[in-house]
Amino acid sequence: MGNIKETTLEIDLSALAHNFNFLKSRLQKKTRFLAVVKAFAYGSDTVAVAQKLEQLGADYLAVAYTQEGILLREAEITLPILVLHPQPINFGKIIEHGLEPNMYSPRILKLFIQEAKSQKQSDYPVHIKFNTGLNRLGFWESDINHIIGQLKDQKAIKVKCILSHLAASEDANEREFSLGQIQTFQKIATELSEKLGYMPLRHMLNTSGILNYPEAQFEMVRSGIGLYGFGNNPEIDKELQPVASLKTVISQLHKIEPNETVGYNRAFVSGGYRMTATLPIGHADGIGRQYGNGKASVLVHGKKAPIIGNVCMDMVMIDVTDIDCKEGDEVLIFGKELSAETFADSANTISYELLTAISQRVKRSII
């Protein structure tokens, strides 16, 4: 204990390897593995994580936006990279960096074909996304003939993959709906491939999909949160290891008299004598105001200390009255002994939001 000197997000690449191998063990041998590394690899470290995944044998990477893909190419990652949510203004850069865009609407498809033609591309790989019930991004089943119309008489692009996304893959109560989505996707893929004259790779499952719908792996699956140690299910969480641990130190201790207050707007009122610790981490680091006022707790020497009062931009105060600690001691915000899922749940959010909110000013340390 105690080599942490400032707020640090530790990234454990052996935990990443463990999670990758666990998820792989749930796949058929021939199923390809697309690792989702959007949002700084779920708030960790894009390049370190992507390099490790490449080494572990991931077949594909995916990011949300073009700029995230460019970062990977600049780090000399050579795996195919799917850009899930590209905007037309970046289509030139997508081709320049050899990224594979997701085509999610007639407008996007038309504009990307134009760009690929103007750059004299042939068979440039794209993914076509169908909406099967999430109602977020994607073509409708009724767009198939439109897509075929756009694709014929051109050689600039070629459909490498077709995909869809489940709306509630973690929710057993929505099993029927999910199975309906899978069935619709299968039907769409068959119709599209018949009309194309070849079969693109199909991918639909996210982490919870891999765990709950093994029959729908098709040729590839897309996993994000599972790689980082969370499976949206307490049983699965036991099998996985958290990749990120957020640690900080006690900057200062304060003895608080009865009827004093702590922090902005005097939100914490002391009932009696209290000992508080001020930590160098706040909402600008990703610990939002929802965690304050007693909602979330951190660990000091293995003991729970609640965050009291309002979370400040660069600080939080915790109650350490019953904990023997001193200035400079290490504090665990979340990690192996206190899971990010538990911390997030204390403020009614989820590990995805907590992890991806950890801001870029927090030091990353790869272990």
Stretch that binds ligand PLP, among 117-125, 175-183, 219-227, 240-248 (CB under 6 A): 219-227
- Would you say 178 or 207 has its CB closer to ligand PLP? 207
At position 344, the amino acid (one-letter code) is: A
Q: Does 69 bind ligand PLP (CB under 6 A)?
A: no
Site for ligand PLP in 186-215 (CB under 6 A): 206-207
By CB under 6 A, the count of residues binding ligand PLP is 11
Q: Does 223 bind ligand PLP (CB under 6 A)?
A: yes
User: d(Cα 260, Cα 257) in Å, to the nearest integer?
Assistant: 6
Q: How far is the CB of 216 from ligand PLP (least distance, A)?
A: 13
Distance of CA 243 to the CA centre of its chain: 12
What mask, x for binding ligand PLP by CB under 6 A, covers residues 158 to 187?
-------x----------------------
Stretch that binds ligand PLP, among 23-31, 140-148, 223-231, 355-363 (CB under 6 A): 223-231
User: d(Cα 36, Cα 65) in Å, to the nearest integer?
Assistant: 12
User: d(Cα 97, Cα 84) in Å, to the nearest integer?
Assistant: 15
Stretch that binds ligand PLP, among 92-100, 112-120, 140-148, 217-225 (CB under 6 A): 217-225
- List Cα–Cα distances, 1 to 64, 179, 285, in angstroms: 37, 48, 23
N residues, the chain = 367
Phi and psi, residue 146, nearest 5°: -60, -45
Burial (CB count within 10 angstroms: exposed 0-12, middle 13-18, buried 19+), residue 273: exposed
Q: Does 101 bind ligand PLP (CB under 6 A)?
A: no
Q: How far is the CB of 84 from ligand PLP (least distance, A)?
A: 5
**Is 38 an active-site residue?**
yes
In the chain, DSSP finds a helix count (H) and a strand count (E) of: 12, 19
The active-site residue, picked from 195, 264, 303, 363, is 264
Q: What is the β-pairing status of strands 124-129 and 157-163?
A: parallel
Residues taking part in catalysis: 38, 264
Judged by the rule CB under 6 A, the positions of this chain that interact with ligand PLP are 36, 38, 84, 165, 206-207, 222-226
